[in-house]
Amino acid sequence: MELKGKRIVLGVTGGIAAYKAAELLRLLVKAGAEVRVAMTEGATHFVTATTFQALSGQPVFSDQWDARMANAMAHIDLSREADLLIVAPASADFLARVANGLADSLLTTMTLARACPLLVAPAMNRQMWENPATRRNVARLQADGIGLIGPACGEQACGELGVGRMAEPAEILDAVAAFFTPKRLAGKKVLLTAGPTFEAIDAVRGITNLSSGRMGYALARAARHAGAEVTLVSGPVALPTPAGVERIDARSALEMQAAVMPRAAASDIFIAVAAVAEYRVAQVAGHKLKKDAGGIPALELVENPDILAAVAGLENGPFCVGFAAESHDLEKHAQAKRQKKKVPLLVGNLIADGLGGETNRLVLFDDRGIHHLPPASKTALARQLIEHIADLTGADDAPD
């Protein structure tokens, strides 16, 4: 519910991508937003107002002379009550009209009379997007402070391939969530590790763990939303890279160390979320070990590098955050790990509460004491943790 309490007007213009607006509306409502929909006449040729009314639970507006508003001024009242106006899809025609201050429909009039920020998600044929007139209009919109989401590159309804597709609804939702997030880490460089590591035994087998990477990826997303420049060093996981985050893949602990250490000194904050295997096999077999080879193979294990301790030991290094997943005695083991690693913040959780799942229960250990975060989704916990890190590092809210 990261958009709980936010009042959003979703504008929909004519174009085949209008069907995606229905999914975007569903996601916005699911995230807790109160959404009203304003459509152009062209949009009604692709998706009916009934669809949007059913998904939003609110009346849909398309006529600037709509008498349902007591004062017959929907173009003013809708935007004045909103925290954000987002138009998706935004056609080439709509962008041109807004760029030139035209007010010949409910939606264009609303953009001119609005008292809230405006985001647009363009959608059009690739040649329309590349046309110099469109480029001029987009440049003017951006100069006027209007935010742009996309467009994306890919296959288009006309069968052509190129830039002009509307960004996917999940990407637009992410951009809206980022828009509302205070930029408390603006100007900061955040380096994170996430996921498990895989320590090879032979050509197919290895030592790993049940870490899904969800907590680390949620933290990378939350840090990016808070304005940070984020680099994510990831173990092998099946998760999409958060928008705006640089991702570096690392399979083993040694690969993760090789990716982290050259970047650590230039970072302001290092968050070690990855579940790094403590041991690796001394001699990796170059072929698959066979059961019929006789006997059970003896595996000699050697200790992996302690990446968090190494970064924490850097002179003038970043603010370090460690994670401890324990099966029991969480406070005892977490406090001991924090002292041993010499980190200012240690985040602990019981394995039964969150390893591999979508929710968790976190306990934060720092110089100020012990802070219990109630059970929640990893997305929600990531936002709370980034706020806590911002508090500890003295980061201030950036201007909206």
3-state secondary structure of 158: coil
Q: Quote the CA–CA distance of 235 and 212 in Å, as a whole number.
A: 9
Q: Quote the CA–CA distance of 115 and 146 in Å, as a whole number.
A: 13
Does residue 366 contact residue 392 with C-beta atoms inside 8 Å? yes
Does residue 192 contact residue 231 with C-beta atoms inside 8 Å? yes
Residue-by-residue pLDDT tens, the chain, 400 positions? 789 999 999 999 999 999 999 999 999 999 999 999 999 999 999 999 999 999 999 999 988 777 676 555 666 778 888 999 999 999 999 999 999 999 989 999 999 999 899 999 999 999 999 999 999 999 999 999 999 999 999 988 888 889 999 999 999 999 999 999 999 999 999 999 999 999 999 999 999 998 999 999 999 999 999 999 999 999 999 999 999 999 999 999 999 999 999 999 999 999 999 999 999 999 998 888 888 766 788 889 999 999 999 999 999 999 999 999 888 999 999 999 999 999 999 999 988 876 777 888 999 999 999 999 999 999 999 999 999 999 999 876 544 4
Q: Is residue 71 classed exposed, middle or buried when 0-12, 13-18 and 19+ CB atoms within 10 A define those classes?
A: exposed
pTM: 0.86
Q: Which two tokens stand for residue 104?
A: 């010949």
User: Is residue 158 flagged as an active site residue?
Assistant: yes
Matching residue, tokens 């680099």: 231
Does residue 165 contact residue 154 with C-beta atoms inside 8 Å? yes
Phi/psi at 170 (5° precision): -65, -35
SS3 content of the chain, % helix, strand, coil (to 5): 35, 25, 40
Does residue 192 contact residue 226 with C-beta atoms inside 8 Å? no
Domains observed in the chain: 7-180 (3.40.50.1950), 189-393 (3.40.50.10300)
Residues 6+ apart with CB under 8 A from 138: 95, 99, 122, 148
